[in-house]
Amino acid sequence: MRRKIIMLMLLPALMLLLAGCNEIEETFATDSQPPGIKEEETNSGDDLTTEDDASDEQENAKEDAEKEEETEGKEEKERESIPEDREEEIEYRVKKGDTLTKIAARYHVETEAIINKNELHNPNLIKAGELLVIPPPGVEIPVPDSLKRQKAEQPALREGGNKPAELDFKRMSAAQLINALSYMKMPIKGAAVTSVNGQLPNAPRSYRNGVHEGLDFYNTAGKSVRAVADGKIIRADHDFKEMTPKEYDKAIERAMAASITPEEILDKLRGMQVWIEHKDGVVTRYCHLDSISSDVKVGQSVSQGQTIGKVGNTGTKNSVVGENLSASGAPHLHFEIWYQGAFLGQGRPLSEVRKIYTQVLR
Ligand SMILES: [Zn+2]
Residues 114 and 23 grouped into a single domain:
no
Do the domain assignments include residue 316? yes
**Segments in the chain below pLDDT 70:** 1-80, 150-165
Residues 21 and 131 grouped into a single domain:
no
- Which residues surround the ion ligand 1 when the cut-off is CB under 5 Å? 214, 216, 334
* Residue 69 to residue 126: CA distance in whole angstroms: 25
Do the domain assignments include residue 126? yes
* Residue 240 to residue 291: CA distance in whole angstroms: 9
Q: What is the CATH number of the domain that holds 291?
A: 2.70.70.10
- pLDDT reported for residue 201: 98
Q: Can you give the residue range of the structural domain that contains 150? A: 80-166
Residues 224 and 348 grouped into a single domain:
yes
Q: What is the CATH number of the domain that holds 152?
A: 3.10.350.10
Distance 334 CA to ligand 1 centre (A): 4
Q: Are residues 58 and 31 in contact, defined by beta-carbon separation less than 8 angstroms? A: yes
DSSP codes of every residue in 118-176? HT-S-TT---TT-EEEEPPTT---PPPHHHHHHHHHHHHHHHT-SPPPPP-TTTS-HHH
Distance 290 CA to ligand 1 centre (A): 15
Distance 232 CA to ligand 1 centre (A): 23
Distance 265 CA to ligand 1 centre (A): 14
Distance 310 CA to ligand 1 centre (A): 15
Do the domain assignments include residue 176? no
Distance 140 CA to ligand 1 centre (A): 43
Burial of residue 244 (number of CB atoms within 10 Å: 0-12, 13-18, 19+)? exposed
Residues 196 and 160 grouped into a single domain:
no
Residues 156 and 195 grouped into a single domain:
no
- pLDDT reported for residue 106: 83
Distance 314 CA to ligand 1 centre (A): 11
Residues 46 and 23 grouped into a single domain:
yes
Residues 354 and 250 grouped into a single domain:
yes
Residues 241 and 334 grouped into a single domain:
yes
Residues 145 and 230 grouped into a single domain:
no
Do the domain assignments include residue 178? no
Please give the tally of structural domains in the chain. Answer: 3
Q: Are residues 94 and 68 in contact, defined by beta-carbon separation less than 8 angstroms? A: no
- pLDDT reported for residue 75: 64
Distance 121 CA to ligand 1 centre (A): 30
Q: How far is CA 86 from CA 39, 90, 110, in A?
A: 36, 9, 14
Distance 202 CA to ligand 1 centre (A): 10
Question: Sign of torsion, CA 335 339 342 348?
Answer: negative
Q: Rounded to the nearest 5 degrees, what angle is found at the Cα of 237, between the Cα atoms of 232 and 241?
A: 175
Residues 94 and 129 grouped into a single domain:
yes
Residues 60 and 84 grouped into a single domain:
no
- pLDDT reported for residue 5: 53
* Residue 267 to residue 348: CA distance in whole angstroms: 23
Residues 85 and 43 grouped into a single domain:
no
End of a domain among 113, 138, 166?
A: 166
DSSP bridge partners of 291? 310
Q: How far is CA 200 from CA 75, 150, 179, 271, in A?
A: 40, 29, 20, 18
Distance 224 CA to ligand 1 centre (A): 17
Distance 192 CA to ligand 1 centre (A): 15
Do the domain assignments include residue 194? yes
Distance 92 CA to ligand 1 centre (A): 32
